[in-house]
Amino acid sequence: MTIRPIIEVPDKRLKTVSQPVTEVTDDTRALMNDMLETMYDANGIGLAAIQIGVASRVIVMDISQRAQADSPPEEKAEEDAAEDIDLTGETGPRFFVNPEIVWVSEETNNYQEGCLSVPGFYDDVERPSQCRVAFLDYDGAAQELECDGLLATCIQHEMDHLEGIVFLDRLSRLKRQIVLKKIAKAERDAAGAK
């Protein structure tokens, strides 16, 4: 497994609509393994392939990471990390290839979201509180998953990435402009420090 660089706003690749995966292969699984390792390294709970510059409809998630988000992850040997992967997705890591939301609840929730591609910025986003997702799993088998709470929020957030949408696009125009100005200023400050 390899930790890959995560692209950040304002990188235009984040606006790319990702393409369907024609077949889950060893290359697809290697991508998912790299994504998972990258997500853990960044203390995230979800990652879409486009966030590492791959325009494929692939997502990895592990919402159990939320409890550990404020502290650095344990460092593990590559083989130990591979042993921790629960390929069933019942607990721990989940893998979604070509995910499609097939149902959403009318009830909504507000949840304070952040994004590995927009580091350091968080804001409330309203989304359906429940959804049902059809997808291919790590082995390419068709699955459906009922999601609610944080799982529903996270899968919808990551699926937005597959459509070229970052969570900033879900904010009011004013809030989005404030965040983008802060990002631009941080980039100028970083460039000036070099």
- Catalytic residue numbers read 158
Q: Using an 8 Å Cβ cutoff, are 114 and 121 in contact?
A: yes
Residue 164 DSSP label = T
- Three-class secondary structure of residue 76 per DSSP: coil
CA distance 39 to 33: 10
CA distance 72 to 43: 7
Beta strands in the chain (DSSP E): 46-48, 58-61, 94-104, 108-115, 118-128, 130-136, 142-148
Question: Residue 57 CB: number of other CB atoms within 10 A?
Answer: 23
- Three-class secondary structure of residue 114 per DSSP: strand
Residues 6+ apart with CB under 8 A from 173: none
Question: Residue 137 CB: number of other CB atoms within 10 A?
Answer: 18
Q: Using an 8 Å Cβ cutoff, are 124 and 106 in contact?
A: no
